[in-house]
Amino acid sequence: NFGKSLNLETRQDKAGNVLIKKPASKGYESGKTIIIQSHLDMVPQKNADVTHDFSRDPIQTYIDGEWVKARSTTLGADNGIGCAMMMAVLEDNLLNHPPIEALFTVDEEVGMDGAFGLQKGFLSGTVMLNLDTEEDGDLCVGCAGGTDVNVSFQFKPDEEIEKGDVAFKISLTGLKGGHSGTQIHLGHANANKLMNRFLKDVVRNYEARLANIHGGSLRNAIPRESFAVVTIPEQLSEDLVDLVNEYESLFREEFSGIESSISFKA
C-alpha cells in the first residue's frame, strides 16, 4: 500500500518479497538501475514476564538520551532502520537519482528465506546496496558467516522423583541478550551457559536431578533468560538456596560493568 500510495509500481512475489520501482530523476534516465534492499522481519524476543504478541502488538518504545529503546522486547531496528531509509528515498521528490528498485525481503532472520525465494526476472538492476548494516555512513564490503547446529541424543528419563526429594525452579533473568553476530563482541552473558555451569555443579555435588530446562528463544540471539527445574533431597534444600546465592554473586562479579541486572533465584 505504501508504494501504491506514491503511485509507484509495486509488486509482490510468491515468497512475500515486495518490490517498489521509482523512475529516474530527469537527466538520470541513462544511469544504472540501483537496487536498495532491507528485510521486513525482526528478531521477536521478549522477557518471560512480558505479554506481547509480535504479530499484532506494537513495540513499546521510549527515549533514553539519544537512543530509542524498547521495553522488555527487541526493538526491531534490525532492519526497521533500513526499511525506513528506503521509504524516505521513495517518497522524496527532491533527490536526483537513477532508476531505483526498492526490495523489501522477508524472513531474513530465520534463514534468508525471502532472498532465496527470489525468482529470475523479478529484479532488473545489477548493482545492489544492502541497508542491513550497523553504522551510519559505513560501507561494508564483506561479512562473516554463521552456522546452525542441531544436537540430539538419547537418554532414559526417570519416571518418578526419589522419595524425600523436593523440586526447585531455578531462574536466571535480567541479562541484556543481544544479536549473536553484531553484539557478540560486547561480552554480554549467555544465560544458557551460566545456567549450565550451575547445573553441572549442583548435579555433581548436591545429588540434584534435572527435570526441565529452557533458555533462549532464537538461534541468532544471545539468550537473556534461562530456567531449570531440579529435584534435590529435602535435607539439602538450604544448601541449594545458598549455592544459588553464591552463583548470583559470582555472576555479578564476573560481568561487572557489562551486566547490571543479573538475577539468579531459586
Is residue 165 among the annotated active site residues? no
Distance CA 114, CA 39 (A): 8
Q: Where on the phi/psi map is residue 142: left (φ > 0), alpha (ψ -120 to 50), or beta?
A: beta
Distance CA 191, CA 244 (A): 14
| Active-site choice (41, 107, 109, 165) | 41
Distance CA 98, CA 129 (A): 14
| Active-site choice (101, 107, 108, 109) | 108
How far is the CA of 142 from the CAs of 125, 179, 185, 232, 238, in angstroms?
20, 18, 18, 51, 53
Q: Where on the phi/psi map is residue 164: left (φ > 0), alpha (ψ -120 to 50), or beta?
A: left
3-class secondary-structure state, position 143:
coil
Cα dihedral across residues 197, 198, 203, 209: positive or negative? negative
* φ/ψ of residue 168, rounded to 5: -130, 140
Amino acid identity for residue 150 in this structure: N
How far is the CA of 90 from the CAs of 5, 10, 83, 181, in angstroms?
11, 12, 11, 30
User: How would you class 160 by CB atoms within 10 Å of its CB: exposed for 0-12, middle for 13-18, buried for 19 or more?
Assistant: exposed
Is residue 41 among the annotated active site residues? yes
Catalytic residues: 41, 108
